């Protein structure tokens, strides 16, 4: 029975949180202050439960409570903070100011997270002792207080509080019943080093028909802190206490060291262009500073129909009109946007990365080195071993040939792999290209994958020239029929594959393809050497186009079994190399290296064995 009641109570509490009355912006902190009149409402009833329900409906992460009883006779010898903690699921901190009626009376703070440290300071109060309760949390500090009824003691109190918080190295928020009007000496004094975040124009006392403001939430600004205020509200609650509760939604300035989420990673390389991407932890406006002289960089930003693409966390800047075969210096720059409104914006720190370099390709390039991975399937330890086998010499490009960002259910599935791949392959100076495998099409977050990666020419398939060598990249789609039950009638790759067949027809007739010295085909799922009873729709569409095309090599994956299909062995007009899977030592890395007119392919497994060395 007790378990049933508890579960019912928990569900009701959860419902209150999810169905909150006051929607909140992403990445904001909600702070609340409430003088609860020791739980006695204007109807003369002691009712802690209705105060708890109001807190749940408001859904703050911190609540500063004043006039709190702890085991006091007048309130029924109850522990108010403990009751509210159980009802809201928050951590309770109590700091008494006086002993009263067999118990204690003072200030309390409820917090979603467990406090790091708690302290209390004494304040002037000749008739009634006053205190301020200081609670340190991970990102900020809260000071909760209830000041004296005399102006002189209030003024001295705010001076003491201001002096006390100077030692804090985090943002500090002062909340409570200051018993002071907005134009009073204590509030005027506070405004020199504090920002009033609540709205003094919204009256808070008495609760039935408020005639004045004596409840406040302020932010300490003397150390250069800024607080973007998104909302300040007085809750229309007239019965639960003689004060009305207040709350504010604010966004803190993120420390400069925490603005950047990833290092820059280069995408969409070419002779006259490069795309620079990076992620931030916070909404920002971002740009790239670049040029051939590190002391004379110009700015490049992304605009969409006249408007700068900003207030986002995924940053993409395409550099165009670059000079072929030229070394460029660049750095990425992000400035946090703490408030983005129609007619008003606020910003945090501007953060710049170290200066990095990249070199554009040249049509006359005859020497290059390209590394190709496939089917990593989240086995990052294997990937690191493979890369350690090939990173001893410089390389110009890394290609991920499918199932390297597989089964994307949540954003972290993408980001966790990015922050593993990108530093290892030196992606801030070496560009990479991602080809979609069949597992990249799966998962709740898979449609967002291309937000984080760069499409070549706007498609998941493309062709480009690296010097005098032509690369053709294709996207096979899924490995089962579209009507297979696992896709729930949500796939149709038919037109996508037909479009690529048309693209292939045009590509093999293009001047760039015909004039190339070497030609390389790369796609995830093999189309040659497929078992007769296997599903392979791309084979029927693409093999007729490729039948007589003079590719020097085709690189594939998917089967998780290293295999070489020699020219003509399965109707193929060129050798086909299929990479291994994601289990050690069978995983493979391929290296295409060209020196002059000589193109070679090497394949290594995770045990360090060279499985293939061939001149193409």
CATH code of the domain in which 307 resides: 2.60.40.10
Q: 274 and 375: one domain?
A: no
Q: What is the mean pLDDT of residues 106-113?
A: 97
Q: From the CB of residue 534, how many other CB atoms can be counted at a distance below 10 Å?
A: 10
Q: 449 and 528: one domain?
A: yes
- The DSSP code for 77 is S
Q: What is the mean pLDDT of residues 513-520?
A: 96
Q: 326 and 414: one domain?
A: no
Quickly count helices (H) and strands (E) in the chain: 11, 33
Q: 273 and 199: one domain?
A: no
Q: 261 and 243: one domain?
A: no
Helix (H) or strand (E) holding 420: helix 411-424
Confidence tier at 499 by pLDDT (50, 70, 90): very high
Domain that holds residue 275: 256-359
Average pLDDT, the chain: 94
Q: 336 and 350: one domain?
A: yes
Of the residues 252, 270, 292, the one at which a domain ends = 252
**Residue in this structure with the two tokens 């966790």, named with its chain if needed:** 416
Per DSSP, helices labelled H in 515-583 are 537-546
The closest alpha carbon to 461, from 491, 502, 403, 405, belongs to: 502
d(CA 516, CA 519): 7
Residue 497 CA to chain centroid, in angstroms?
A: 33
- What is the token pair recorded at 57? 């409906």
pLDDT at 574: 96
d(CA 78, CA 70): 6
Which pairs with CB-CB distance under 8 Å and at least 24 residues apart come from 182-191?
182/213, 184/151, 184/154, 185/151, 185/154, 185/155, 186/147, 186/151, 186/154, 186/155, 186/157, 186/158, 187/216, 189/155, 189/158, 189/159, 190/158, 190/162, 190/218
Q: 331 and 375: one domain?
A: no
d(CA 317, CA 275): 6
- What is the token pair recorded at 69? 């009883």
Tell me the pLDDT tens digit for each residue of 115-146.
999 999 999 999 999 999 999 999 999 999 99
Q: From the CB of residue 248, how many other CB atoms can be counted at a distance below 10 Å?
A: 27
Q: 336 and 381: one domain?
A: no
Q: What is the mean pLDDT of residues 204-218?
A: 97
Helix (H) or strand (E) holding 495: helix 494-508
Does pLDDT of 111 surpass 90? Answer: yes
Cis upstream peptide for 584 (omega within 30°): no
Confidence tier at 20 by pLDDT (50, 70, 90): low
Of the residues 218, 234, 252, the one at which a domain ends = 252
Q: 240 and 273: one domain?
A: no
Percentage, residues of the chain above pLDDT 90: 91
Q: 526 and 607: one domain?
A: yes
Q: 331 and 273: one domain?
A: yes
Answer whether 501's CB lies under 8 Å from 545's CB: yes
Q: From the CB of residue 327, how many other CB atoms can be counted at a distance below 10 Å?
A: 10
Q: Considering just the CA atoms, what is the radius of gyration of the chain in Å? A: 32
Domains contained in the chain, number? 3
- The DSSP code for 1 is -
Percentage, residues of the chain above pLDDT 70: 97
**Residue in this structure with the two tokens 């409820």, named with its chain if needed:** 110
What is the residue-wise DSSP string for 46-69?
A: B-HHHHHHHHHHH--SEEEEEEEE
- What is the token pair recorded at 50? 């209705």
d(CA 465, CA 398): 14
* Burial of 616: CB neighbours in 10 Å, binned 0-12, 13-18, 19+: middle
Q: What is the mean pLDDT of residues 443-462?
A: 92
What is the residue-wise DSSP string for 205-233?
A: BSSSS--B--EEEEEE-TTS--EEEEEEE
d(CA 183, CA 189): 10
What is the residue-wise DSSP string for 435-485?
A: E--GGGG-STTGGGHHHHSPPBTTBSSEEEEETTEEEEE-----SS-TTSG
Residue 34 CA to chain centroid, in angstroms?
A: 33
Helix (H) or strand (E) holding 84: helix 80-88
pLDDT at 17: 40
Rounded-to-10 torsion of CA 186, 187, 190, 192: -110
What is the domain-level CATH number for residue 29? 3.60.10.10
Confidence tier at 4 by pLDDT (50, 70, 90): very low
Does pLDDT of 18 surpass 90? Answer: no
**Residue in this structure with the two tokens 């009355």, named with its chain if needed:** 21
Q: What is the mean pLDDT of residues 524-531?
A: 93
Q: What is the mean pLDDT of residues 215-232?
A: 93
Does pLDDT of 339 surpass 60? Answer: yes
What is the domain-level CATH number for residue 595? 3.60.21.10
d(CA 489, CA 478): 13
Of the residues 205, 237, 252, the one at which a domain ends = 252
The two most distant CA atoms of the chain are separated, in Å, by 100
d(CA 584, CA 605): 8
pLDDT at 85: 97
Non-local CB neighbours of 152 within 8 Å, separated by 6+ positions: 124
Strand, coil or helix: what is 124? coil
d(CA 92, CA 110): 5
pLDDT at 26: 83
Confidence tier at 261 by pLDDT (50, 70, 90): very high
Q: 511 and 388: one domain?
A: yes
Tell me which of 456 and 214 has the higher pLDDT.
214
Does pLDDT of 7 surpass 90? Answer: no
d(CA 349, CA 281): 13
Answer whether 529's CB lies under 8 Å from 565's CB: yes
Tell me which of 7 and 354 has the higher pLDDT.
354
Does pLDDT of 13 surpass 70? Answer: no
């Amino acid at each position: 029975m007790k378990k049933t009641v508890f579960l019912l109570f928990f569900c009701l509490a959860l419902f209150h949180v999810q169905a909150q009355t006051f929607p909140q912006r992403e990445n904001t902190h909600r702070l609340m202050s409430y003088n609860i009149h020791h739980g006695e409402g204007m109807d003369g009833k002691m009712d802690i439960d209705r105060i708890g329900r109001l807190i749940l409906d408001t859904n703050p992460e911190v609540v500063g409570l004043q006039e709190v009883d702890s085991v006091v006779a007048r309130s029924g010898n109850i522990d108010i903070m403990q009751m509210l903690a159980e009802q809201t699921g928050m951590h309770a901190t109590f700091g008494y100011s006086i002993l009263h009626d067999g118990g204690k009376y003072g200030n309390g703070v409820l917090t979603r997270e467990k406090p790091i440290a708690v302290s209390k300071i004494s304040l002037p109060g000749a008739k009634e002792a006053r205190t301020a309760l200081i609670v340190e949390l991970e990102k900020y500090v809260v000071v909760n207080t209830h000041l004296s009824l005399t102006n002189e003691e209030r003024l001295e109190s705010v001076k003491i509080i201001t002096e006390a918080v100077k030692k804090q190295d985090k943002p500090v928020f002062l909340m409570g019943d200051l018993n002071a009007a907005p134009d009073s000496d204590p509030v005027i004094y506070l405004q020199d080093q504090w920002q009033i975040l609540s709205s003094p124009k919204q009256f808070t006392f008495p609760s039935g028909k408020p005639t004045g403001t004596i409840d406040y939430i302020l932010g300490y600004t003397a150390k250069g802190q800024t607080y973007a205020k998104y909302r300040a509200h007085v809750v229309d609650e007239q019965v639960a206490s003689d004060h009305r509760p207040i709350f504010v939604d604010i966004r803190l300035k993120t420390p400069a060291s925490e603005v950047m989420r990833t290092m820059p990673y280069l995408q969409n390389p070419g002779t006259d262009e490069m795309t620079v991407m990076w992620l931030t932890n916070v909404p920002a406006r971002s740009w790239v500073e670049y040029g051939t002289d590190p002391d004379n960089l110009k700015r490049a930003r992304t605009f969409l129909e006249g408007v700068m693409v900003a207030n986002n966390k995924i940053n993409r800047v395409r550099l165009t009109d670059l000079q072929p075969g030229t070394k460029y210096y660049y750095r990425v720059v992000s400035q946090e946007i703490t408030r983005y409104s129609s007619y008003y914006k606020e910003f945090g720190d501007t953060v710049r990365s170290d200066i990095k370099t990249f070199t554009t390709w040249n049509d006359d390039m005859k020497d290059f080195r390209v590394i190709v991975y496939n089917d990593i399937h989240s086995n990052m330890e294997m990937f690191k071993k493979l890369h350690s086998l090939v990173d001893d010499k410089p390389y110009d490009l890394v290609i991920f040939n499918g199932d390297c960002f597989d089964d994307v259910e949540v954003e972290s599935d993408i980001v966790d792999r990015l922050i593993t791949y990108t530093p290892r392959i030196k992606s801030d100076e070496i560009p990479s290209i991602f080809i979609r495998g069949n597992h990249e099409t799966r998962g709740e977050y898979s449609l967002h994958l291309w937000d984080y990666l760069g499409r070549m020419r706007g498609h998941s398939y493309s062709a480009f020239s690296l010097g005098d060598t032509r690369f053709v990249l294709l996207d096979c789609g899924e490995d089962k029929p579209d009507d297979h039950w696992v896709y729930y009638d949500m796939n149709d790759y038919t037109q996508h594959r037909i479009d690529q067949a048309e693209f292939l027809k045009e590509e093999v007739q293009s001047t760039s393809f015909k004039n190339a010295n070497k030609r390389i085909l790369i796609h995830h799922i093999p189309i040659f050497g497929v078992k007769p009873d296997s599903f392979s729709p791309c084979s029927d569409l693409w093999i007729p186009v490729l039948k007589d095309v003079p590719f020097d090599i085709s690189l594939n994956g998917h089967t998780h079994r290293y295999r070489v299909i020699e020219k003509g062995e399965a109707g193929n007009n060129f050798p086909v190399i299929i990479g291994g899977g994601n289990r050690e030592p069978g995983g493979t890395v391929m290296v295409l290296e060209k020196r002059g007119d000589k193109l070679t392919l090497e394949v290594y497994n995770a045990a360090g064995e060279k499985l293939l060395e061939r001149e193409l």
